[in-house]
Structure 1
């Protein structure tokens, strides 16, 4: 039992070291890792050395700073390739982003967050970083609203206390009354829209993806800068496209229920 506890503690400490690199800083000193994890400097140094041997981190010979290595990339690639939603949606999303010149994103729900499985950016919506693996709040995103359709009203309230629904912009929905109203509209028209609710200057339209059990297992969005999205003129076109794409992916996952009806009058 003591050996098991020691082994478990070692694993937990190693994972805590790796999680420090999720902070966004590309390179860290041993002291940075020790401070962030609460571990002693010598313990942090030993763990980093072991993780370096396993290629989970790598050390710059000149600066002595550590950054993530290639092993996490390998694990991430394998995990994505084994995910049925990713396998079904990847090529479709890539082709759509190229055709529209906009961003196309697919995400699943993990707890109170949406988790990006993939994203592709077209020429009108470039990014210098990938969204895959990032998490965003459900209540402030078009994809998140679609994912919330899979929960009951009570489940939504338990998952998202209003105290956790903090505003990102003046447009963010921060009460369940407003969120319930918006989700009813999403359900009625078959797609969600988000305009500057998470970030200024950005907008998207999104639709739910269902599996053979008719459950909402993911969602897909078309996104980009306000000027490129031009929802005043293009919302109906983009909404129809995202609904049809979501239905195509759903069918690939075994969904045999009725496809979402498209409402011609956007809200």
Structure 2
């Protein structure tokens, strides 16, 4: 069993080296070693092996970055995901039609994991959201993904504050998710980052379970929820319904509330 245990340990260390690059794009050996919790000699040896497999590569300054082979594997993984397969084209069309960013995410534990995003002319980004993670409680996508999660308090724990508008009280979060269940979409105004807003709708599989979420996002001035919420929510919900059909969902969703919950007062969130 010793050789097998040693092999498993080597794989775990190699994974730790690759995950170190989630912090920043380019790293020196010493930085990789510190982030992965390894000796510098071990990190250097693993980086050499990963470089030979094209999982990492070095630039002219001797810094390492993730290699092209990982792009190939990531492309295969994301293209094989049923939610991505069903949502990619509708999301791209939604971004083009509205000029806002269209995003598709699934839940991974206590975070929203982005499968794809498309930039609109009014919401350019300097980076892709694909593969990134965001907190569930502070995003419109996350509020949709929390539908159907029974013990949200155990899943999320203490709710971290990102801006003065972030919901940090579980009772308020429950009320926000009840509102999503009743109206069929969620909103978020500067709860994760200032000057950005978002609307989202849940994506459901053939059994009606929430398996993802679709959102429109961008600068608050472009999203302009005060005057455009009805227009944009209709587009998001209609696009989500089209995606749901591709996922096999054609029937009723979760039981709806008998009356609309009161709108959350943003001041009560501080």
- TM-score calculated relative to the size of structure 1: 0.93
Q: Distance in 2 between matches of 1:37 and 1:186?
A: 40
1:233, distance to aligned residue in structure 2 (A): 1.3
User: Please, what is the CA RMSD of the aligned residues?
Assistant: 1.7
In structure 2, the residue corresponding to 1:139 is in which secondary structure?
coil
CA contact (8 A) 1:190 1:243 kept: yes
**Are 1:73 and 2:67 an aligned pair?**
no
Q: Distance in 2 between matches of 1:42 and 1:160?
A: 38
In structure 2, the residue corresponding to 1:3 is in which secondary structure?
helix
Q: Which moved more, 1:222-231 or 1:32-41?
A: 32-41
CA contact (8 A) 2:208 2:252 kept: no
Provide structure 1 residue ranges, at least 5 long, that are not aligned to the other structure: none
Q: 2:30: which partner in 1?
A: 31
1:146, distance to aligned residue in structure 2 (A): 0.4
In structure 1, the residue corresponding to 2:163 is in which secondary structure?
coil
The 5 A counterparts of 1:38-57 are: 38-57=37-56
Question: CA offsets per residue over residues 219-258 of structure 1, 9 Å max, x none?
Answer: 0001111111111111001001111111110111000213
In 2 relative to 1, CA 167–3 (structure 1 residues): closer, same or farther, beyond 3 Å? same
The 5 A counterparts of 1:175-194 are: 175-194=169-188
Provide structure 2 residue ranges, at least 5 long, that are not aligned to the other structure: 264-270
Q: 2:101: which partner in 1?
A: 103
Q: 1:202: which partner in 2?
A: 196
CA contact (8 A) 1:247 1:259 kept: no
In 2 relative to 1, CA 111–146 (structure 1 residues): closer, same or farther, beyond 3 Å? same
1:259, distance to aligned residue in structure 2 (A): 7.0
Q: 2:239: which partner in 1?
A: 245
Paired residue total: 259
1:150, distance to aligned residue in structure 2 (A): 2.1
Q: Which moved more, 1:63-72 or 1:123-132?
A: 63-72
Large movers: runs of 4+ above 4 Å = none
CA contact (8 A) 2:208 2:253 kept: no
In structure 2, the residue corresponding to 1:180 is in which secondary structure?
helix
Question: CA offsets per residue over residues 73-117 of structure 1, 9 Å max, x none?
Answer: 111100011101101100111111011100000000000000000
